[in-house]
């Protein structure tokens, strides 16, 4: 399975998996239906340079990316993982950029799933606005694992995933991206 197929699965299933900690599941009417593409995607080679270098004290994997098409839907996904130290339990962060090619139906369905908040002793899920962008945050307290999604420029889904870091680090990692430059890509 290539990185684009994995990204689509993550986009479609992540909100449901995140809510599996005792939160009511969304109704079937909130499951996204992918509509016809409304614009061509930005090629992965143009998105990869936007992934930041590792901050001081961290190392970064080589960025990966691909552009693929399946059943009339084209998607571009780029990703980079960062690690602090060499220990098996070292803090990590992964940044993914996914170009949905201005597919409004896909974005609207995703935002609808984000609108179901949860707050339990295990963690929380909440819709939010970050840097003026619509987003969603999930955080699990026990293992300090978090995921932050934002929609940039009406077409790019940016996902920041952290492990063994406080929730505040999600926005710190997001701030390392040049969101204005990403938003300007067409």
Q: What is the mean pLDDT of residues 86-113?
A: 87
Residues 67, 78 contacting (CB under 8 angstroms) = no
Strand blocks (E) in the chain: 59-60, 64-70, 73-83, 92-99, 118-120, 123-130, 133-140, 145-152, 156-163
Q: What is the mean pLDDT of residues 32-46?
A: 69
Query: 115 vs 59, which has greater pLDDT?
Result: 59
Please give the Cα distance from 132 to 92 (Å, whole number). Answer: 26
Structure tokens at 186: 């067409």
Its domain, for residue 67, covers 3-184
pLDDT given for residue 40 in this prediction = 86
CA atoms within 13 A on the CB side of 164: 10
pLDDT given for residue 38 in this prediction = 60
Q: Domain of 138: which CATH number? A: 3.40.1000
Please give the Cα distance from 120 to 173 (Å, whole number). Answer: 25
How many domains are contained in the chain?
A: 1
Residues 143, 176 contacting (CB under 8 angstroms) = no
Position 186 pLDDT exceeds 90: no
Q: What is the mean pLDDT of residues 45-72?
A: 93
Q: Which of 84-88's residues contact partners 24+ apart within 8 Å by CB, and which partners?
A: 84/57, 84/58, 84/59
Position 29 pLDDT exceeds 80: no
pLDDT in tens, 128-184: 999 899 999 999 999 999 999 999 988 899 999 999 999 999 999 999 999 999 999
Position 94 pLDDT exceeds 80: yes
Position 63 pLDDT exceeds 50: yes
Position 46 pLDDT exceeds 80: yes
Position 8 pLDDT exceeds 50: no
């Amino acid at each position: 399975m290539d990185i684009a197929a994995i990204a689509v699965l993550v986009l479609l299933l992540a909100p449901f998996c995140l809510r599996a900690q005792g939160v009511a599941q969304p109704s079937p009417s909130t499951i996204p239906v992918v509509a016809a593409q409304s614009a061509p995607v930005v090629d992965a080679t143009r998105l990869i340079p936007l992934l930041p270098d590792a901050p001081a004290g961290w190392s970064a994997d080589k960025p990966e990316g691909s552009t693929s098409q399946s059943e009339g839907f084209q998607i571009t996904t780029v990703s980079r993982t960062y690690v602090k130290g060499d220990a098996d339990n070292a803090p990590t962060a992964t940044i993914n950029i996914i170009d949905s090619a201005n597919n409004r139906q896909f974005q609207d369905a995703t935002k609808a799933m984000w609108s179901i908040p949860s707050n339990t002793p295990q963690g929380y899920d909440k819709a939010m606005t970050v840097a003026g962008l619509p987003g969603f945050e999930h955080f699990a307290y026990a293992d300090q694992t978090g995921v932050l999604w934002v929609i940039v420029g009406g077409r790019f889904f940016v996902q920041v995933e952290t492990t063994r870091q406080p929730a505040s680090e999600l926005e710190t990692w997001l701030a390392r991206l040049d969101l204005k430059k990403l938003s300007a890509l067409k």
